[in-house]
A = this chain, B = another copy of it.
Amino acid sequence: MCGVFGIHSAERDVARVAYFALFALQHRGQESAGIAVSDRGRLTVLRDMGLVAQVFDEEKLQALPGEVAIGHTRYSTTGANAWANTQPLVHHGAARTVALGHNGNLTNTEEVRDALAEDGIVLGATSDTEAIAALIAHDPSPLPLAVARAMTRLEGAYSIVALADGKLVGFRDPHGIRPLALGRLRNPDGGEDWVLASETCALDLIGASFEREVRPGEVVVIDEDGLHSTQAMPEGRQALCIFEHVYFARPDSTLAGAEVHGVRVRMGERLAAEAPAEADLVMPIPDSGTPAAVGFSRASGIPYSEGLIKNRYVGRTFIQPDDALRRQGIKMKFNPLAEVAGKRLVIVDDSIVRGSTMHQLVSMLFEAGAAEVHVRVSSPPIVSPCFYGIDMADEEQLAAAHRSVEQMRELIGATSLHYLSLEGMQGATRLPEASVCRACFTREYPTRVPAERNLAKLRFEPAAR
C-alpha cells in the first residue's frame, strides 16, 4: 500500500503543499517518502527512507521549486533494497521523461517486462512501477495517448500520479481498484488549481475541495490550461478494493461516495444484528476496530467502552525484552483496563489475518478477569491473498484460509467468534456488489491472477546481471 499526491499550480509552493498532503497520507506508508517537481520542464526528485517529516526539511523543500509536484509515501517492504524502491520513480525514455508514484500492484509485470525487453528497454530488478513509467516514456504518441496505450498493456491495480511533459497526470486501472480523488484548491488570487490524492483526507488537510474521483480507466492530464480528461479504457465493472473501507483508508476519507467512518459504523451495526451477544460491554481493538465497535454498541444497546489502551509511542524501538519480561507477557502495545474484570465482553476488530495478535489480546483480557470474550469481526474471513497491493500474507499464512470459524475460535481462544457476512459487509458500503473487489474474502478476482496463490512467487526477482 502507498499514498500518492499531485498538484499543478503556477501560484503555489507546490512542494510544500505536497509535503502537507503526504503528511495526511502517512498512514498509507511509513517506510519512505518522496516528492518530484517540474519547474518549467526541469525535473527534480528527492526521495529517501523515513517518515515525511524525516525526509524533508526547509532547505530541501526550498530546493524543489516548480509548478507541478507529485509525492509518494511507501509501505514497508521486506527483502528488496528499500532505497531502490523509494518513489517517485523517474524513467527517461525515448519519447519523454516520466516521474511516477504508484499505489497498487500489477499482476502481469513479467509480461510487460518481456514486451519491453523485446523493444530493447531493460528494467530494474524490483519494481512493477517502472514498467508503467517505461511504457509511457518510450511511446512517442502525445501524452494522453501514450498513457492510454500503456494502460492497454497493464493488468492489475494502479492508481497513479505522474509528471511528464511538464504536466500532471493521474490515471486509474479500469477496475478502479485503488482510490484516487480529484480536488480543487482555491488560491489567494481567487483562481483554482487541481490536485490529486489517494484519499480525500489529504484534500481536507490542505484546504482543497473534493471534486470527484478519477474514474476507472480515466486519464486526467492537468496543465496550465486546466484539466483534460480521456476515458482511455472502457469503464467496465468497477472493483474498488473493499478492504480500503474495512481497514486501510482513514475514517475521515470518502471513497466511492461513502465516508469510511460511517461505513465502518454500519458494518458494526450489521454485525450486531447478524451475530448478537449477551454481554456487558462492547470494546474495540483500537484504532482499527473503533468505528465498528461504536456501531455494534448502537445496534445492540450494549454499552460501548474502551477496553484496551494503546501505547501511542509504540514504533521504532529496537530494544528487545529479555526472557523474564517475555515470560511475564510484556504489554508494549496494548494494556487492558481493570474494569473488564468480571465482565462479559464483545471485542470488535476489522479483520483477522494471522490470528496471533488476536490470540494474545484475548488471553490478556481473560487474565484481566474478563468473564467472557466474544470476538466480532466486521468483515468476513480472509481466505485468499491480495494481488493488488495489500501485503497481507500468503494464502498459507492466512489463518482463515484453511480453518472453519469454529477452528478459528479455538485458535484465538475466544468464548465465541463471529464474522460479518459478505452481504452484511456489502450492505454497509451501500455500494452495488458489482462495484467492489472482495477477492480476499471470495477468491473471485476482477482480473487474471496467478494460478499459484503464493505471494512469494510473485515477488520480482532481480534480473541476472
Q: Which residues of A contact B (CB under 8 A)?
A: 11-13, 16-17, 19-20, 23-24, 26-27, 39-46, 51-53, 56-63, 65, 81-84, 90-92, 96-97, 121-125, 130, 185-188, 201, 204-208, 250-252, 254, 259, 261-262, 265, 287, 290-291, 294, 297-298, 303-306, 309, 311-313, 315-319, 321-325, 327-332, 335-339, 465
Which of B24, B188, B265, B339 contacts A261 (CB under 8 A)?
B339
B53 touches A309 (CB 8 A): no
Q: Is the CB of A251 within 8 A of B306?
A: yes
CB distance from A85 to the nearest CB of B (A): 8
B residues less than 8 Å from A338 (CB atoms): 252, 254, 259
Cα(A188)–Cα(B323), bound, Å: 9
In the complex, what distance in Å separates the CA atom of A325 from the CA atom of B19? 12
**A83 CB contact (under 8 Å) in B45, B63, B291:** B63
A311 to B252, CA, bound (A): 10
Complexed CA–CA distance, A332 and B185 (Å): 17
Q: Is the CB of B306 within 8 A of A297?
A: no
Nearest B-chain residue to A303, judged by Cβ: B298
Pull 27 A–B residue pairs with CB atoms less than 8 Å apart, ordered by A.
Answer: A16-B325, A24-B311, A40-B122, A42-B124, A53-B318, A59-B83, A65-B124, A65-B465, A92-B92, A188-B324, A201-B335, A204-B331, A205-B335, A206-B328, A250-B309, A251-B309, A251-B337, A252-B336, A254-B338, A259-B339, A261-B306, A261-B339, A265-B305, A287-B312, A291-B306, A297-B304, A298-B304
Q: Given the interface contacts A23-B332, A313-B26, does A92 sit within 8 Å of B97 by beta carbon?
A: yes
The answer to whether A92 touches B43 (Cβ under 8 A) is yes
Using CB atoms, name the residue of chain B closest to A164: B92
Q: Name the B residues within 8 Å of A23 (CB-CB).
A: 311, 313, 317, 332
Please name the residue on chain B nearest to A317 by beta carbon. B53
Contact B294 A305 (CB under 8 A): yes
Q: Are A319 and B40 in contact (CB under 8 A)?
A: no
Q: Nearest B residue to A314 by beta-carbon distance?
A: B23
A83 close to B60 (CB less than 8 A): yes
For the complex of A and B, 5 pairs with smallest distance between CB atoms: A207-B328, A40-B122, A92-B97, A63-B84, A252-B309
For A332, give its contact among B20, B124, B130, B316 (CB under 8 Å): B20
User: Which among B17, B56, B251 is the interface contact of A325 at CB below 8 angstroms?
Assistant: B17
Given the complex, which residues of B lie within 8 Å of A61, measured CB to CB?
319
- Quick check: B328 and A41 within 8 Å, CB to CB? no
Q: Kindly list chain B residues whose C-beta atoms are within 8 Å of the C-beta of A201.
A: 309, 335
- Nearest CB to that of A207 among chain B residues? B328
List the B residue with the shortest CB-CB distance to A331.
B205
**A13 contact from B43, B306, B322, B332, Cβ within 8 A:** B322
Bound form: Cα–Cα A329–B97 in Å? 36
Which of chain B's residues have a CB closer than 8 A to the CB of A97? 92, 97
User: How far is the CB of A388 from the nearest CB of chain B, in Å?
Assistant: 25
List chain B residues, Cβ under 8 A from A318.
53, 57-58
Chain B residues with Cβ below 8 Å from A20 are: 319, 321, 325, 330, 332
State A331–B20 Cα separation when bound (angstroms): 9
CB of A245 to closest CB in B, whole Å: 15
A262–B16 touching, CB < 8 Å: no
CB nearest to A99 among chain B residues: B92
With A59-B83, A252-B337, A335-B252 already in contact, the answer to whether A319 and B42 are too (CB < 8 A) is no
Docked pose: A321 CA to B204 CA in angstroms: 14
List residues of chain B with CB within 8 A of the CB of A43: 90, 92
Residue on B nearest A368 in the bound complex, by CB: B204
CA distance A62 to B320 in the complex (A): 12
Instruction: Report the minimal beta-carbon distance from A68 to chain B, rounded to whole angstroms.
Output: 13
CA distance A92 to B163 in the complex (A): 12
Q: Hey, which chain B residues are within 8 Å of A45, CB to CB? A: 45
Given contacts A201-B335, A322-B16, A324-B187, contact A81 B59 (CB under 8 A): yes
Excluding A17-B325, A261-B306, 6 further A-B contacts by CB distance (< 8 Å) are: A20-B321, A41-B122, A52-B317, A53-B313, A58-B318, A259-B338
Bound CA–CA A331/B404 (angstroms): 45
Instruction: Enumerate chain B residues within 8 angstroms of A124, measured Cβ to Cβ.
Output: 39, 42, 65
- What is the CA–CA distance of A122 and B123 in the complex, to the nearest angstrom? 30
A186 and B92 form a contact (CB under 8 A): no
A330 to B204, CA, bound (A): 8
